[in-house]
Amino acid sequence: MASRSAQGDVPTSGRWDDGAETAGFNTKRKKKLAGIYQALNSDPIDVAALRRMAISEGGLLTDEIRRKVWPKLLNVDTSDPPPVSGNNLRQMSKDYQQVLLDVRRSLRRFPPGMPKEQREGLQEELIDIILLVLERNPQLHYYQGYHDIVVTFLLVVGEKLATSLVEKLSTHHLRDFMDRTMDNTKHILNYLMPIIDQVNPELHDFMQSAEVGTIFALSWLITWFGHVLSDFRHVVRLYDFFLACHPLMPIYFAAVIVLYREQEVLDCDCDMASVHHLLSQIPQDLPYETLISRAGDLFVQFPPSELAREAAAQQQAQKTAASTFKDFELASAQQRPDMVLRQRFQGLLRTEDRTKDVLTKPRTNRFVKLAVMGLTVALGAAALAVVKSALEWAPKFQLQLFP
């Protein structure tokens, strides 16, 4: 417990204290391993404890444990026979060509030293899993990036179990991404800016002025960062976290990354291209444990229910932007960006109460919240609350969050 509270001080400085970390590392790891096995061996299995372990520092530690715990987090019975299909899916599936193209090109997802033959075998399995899940769930639609998620499960748990896990995940956490259209995905992206606004209004306003949009975070969200992180260990660590949490957690994590890079963003030219370019190049040396605990903390402080109104307002603001699109286009054709911005701001001010709201909202309010955040980031409190919300969500499996 002492080491945990010491940890809690670290994230506020934005860095992970390596020295103090290594000292107690082995002890903590052993303790955690014991805790995980205890939860696995208790009857009934202590899923809440496993969720806590998946969220807290280091996640589930090894792939061997992941093979045991991931099914529990997804409520998949490993003794059930894996799904199979009697059909020749490669001939029948409308998605086969697209899946084939994407999987063939996804060489980076496999360990660098892996022999070509082995990799190609896995790629074939990857195609089979995807086509099978799609066949069994005709309401699901393939998207580019889905293969980045499936490959992670394939590499950790193997083909048979991966099929069951991915099927469950696809009908729950990923359900919104697999709609016929990407409208719900877009809606989830709309949570990004309100979260940033809660913590750092200056950064939020800068990004709004740059009109950077949220597409830089699209691949993060729909691949659970599998598409953009090159170190597989980081990817599985994040999957531990996301599997244990509410399906909107990846968007909180995306916000935390942007917030972490505040200074870089503010130093950037205030235009769409510069900010999009900066943010879409994700640094590979992120302090993952710190960011995970911050994301958990933000989730607790600003739960989705609280942000829903602001996210909807984003949609509204976009509509406004669309209606003033003509003016915008005309002005930009004339190479007068100042005019464009001014018109846009006037338009927003005239029609959007939300904007007025944001501008007049007392800033102190947020600084108070920030201070609170500093106190609560210690994983314990936040993780517990996150687990609680995950549990509240999990039994119902309600993914229809967005009407």
Partner 1 sequence: MASEMESSLEASFTSSGALSGSSVFLPPARSRIFKIIVIGDSNVGKTCLTYRFCAGRFPDRTEATIGVDFRERAVEIDGERIKIQLWDTAGQERFRKSMVQHYYRNVHAVVFVYDMTNMASFHSLPSWIEECKQHLLANDIPRILVGNKCDLRSAIQVPTDLAQKFADTHSMPLFETSAKNPNDNDHVEAIFMTLAHKLKSHKPLMLSQPPDHGVTLKPEPKPVMTCWC
Contact positions vs partner 1 (CB under 8 A): 98, 101-102, 105-108, 141, 143-145, 147, 181-183, 185-186, 201-202, 205-206, 208-209, 211, 213, 215-216, 218-219, 222-223, 227, 266, 269-270, 272-273, 276-277, 280, 325-326, 328-330, 332-342, 345, 359, 363
CA-based radius of gyration for the chain: 22
Least distance (Å) from partner 1 to the CB of residue 65? Answer: 29
Joined tokens for residue 2: 């002492």
In the complex, minimum distance from the CB of residue 336 to partner 1, in angstroms, rounded to a whole number: 6
Tokens of residue 342, six digits? 């001014």
Shortest Cβ 209–partner 1 spacing (Å): 5
Q: Which of 269, 267, 259, 250 is nearest to 386 (CA)?
A: 250
CA atoms of 8 and 290, how far apart (whole Å) = 9
Q: To the nearest whole angstrom, how small is the minimum distance from the Cβ of residue 371 to partner 1? A: 20
Nearer to partner 1, 135 or 327 (CB): 327
Q: At what angle do helices 116-136 and 159-171 cross, to 10 degrees?
A: 40
In the complex with partner 1, which residue's Cβ is closer, 39 or 218? Answer: 218
Q: Which of 333, 39, 315, 44 is nearest to 192 (CA)?
A: 315
Q: Which of 154, 170, 340, 142 is nearest to 232 (CA)?
A: 154
The answer to whether the CB of 139 falls within 8 A of the CB of 167 is no
Q: Cβ of residue 250: shortest distance to partner 1, in angstroms?
A: 14
In the chain, the largest separation of any two C-alpha atoms, in whole Å, equals: 71
- The residue among 206 and 393 lying less far from partner 1, judged by its C-beta, is 206
Rounded to whole angstroms, how far apart are CA atoms 19 and 130? 44
> Could you tell me the smallest distance in angstroms from the CB atom of residue 204 to partner 1?
9
Q: 52 vs 227, which CB is nearer to partner 1?
A: 227
- Among residues 143 and 242, whose Cβ is nearest to partner 1? 143
C-beta of residue 185 within 8 angstroms of C-beta of residue 221: yes
